[in-house]
Amino acid sequence: MNPLFQWDRDIFRLIHVELHRAWLDPLWLLITWSGLAGVHITIYLLLLPSRKLRPFALTVGLTQLVGGIVRLPFVSLTERMRPSNFEFANPLEPTFSSTNSFPSGHTMGSMTLAVSLWLCLRGSDWEWLGKAAIGWAILVGISRIYVGVHYPTDVLGGAILGTLVAVLVTPWFARKFGLPGFSESTAPEEP
């Protein structure tokens, strides 16, 4: 067996089976649920009416949308079996496809949101919120393993791709929507 796959399977078993506690299931399901795109979209829609928060909601939301588009080729090209197919697995949520495991969409979307938010808030009094969001995104990733639907490398891949998308795309949207700290570089004036 491939050593990376063996590691993936062993860590999956450790988190999903060995560390499983029935009393923790509701907490991990709530965390995993918070990583759904529908939850994120609802938050953005609630923030849009506020003139002050609209630029943040548009920047982070559109960055996350780009991340979702970037993820699509990876899912279709990898066709990786979900770990919920293992005989020892007992997934806590239904899996609608057994072959779209890499990268984890919940993790990628949550990490894109969190890093984008952190980039938008860094240097402000609200920077702690961006850091807390990154901690939350890490928990969403762990929850995907705990509930039995993703391998650790699916989560790691989602976290890396989400971070890259946020770092590359957030500044563009932040400048477009006029967020502080992202001003357009000014061209020299004509004489």
CATH code of the domain in which 148 resides: 1.20.144.10
In a domain, 45, yes or no: yes
Three-class SS state of 71: helix
In a domain, 4, yes or no: no
- Entry pTM: 0.89
Phi/psi of residue 185, each to 5°?
A: -70, 130
In a domain, 111, yes or no: yes
Confidence check: pLDDT of 184 > 90:
no
Find tokens 């506020």 and name the residue: 50
Average pLDDT in the 21-38 region?
95
Number of independent structural domains in the chain: 1
In a domain, 161, yes or no: yes
Three-class SS state of 18: helix
99-136 residue pLDDT tens: 678 999 999 999 999 999 999 999 889 999 999 999 99
56-97 residue pLDDT tens: 999 999 999 999 999 989 888 887 888 888 889 888 888 766
In a domain, 5, yes or no: no
Query: Which residues span the domain enclosing 129?
Result: 32-176
In a domain, 12, yes or no: no
Three-class SS state of 100: strand
Q: According to the model, what pLDDT value does residue 33 have?
A: 96
In a domain, 86, yes or no: yes
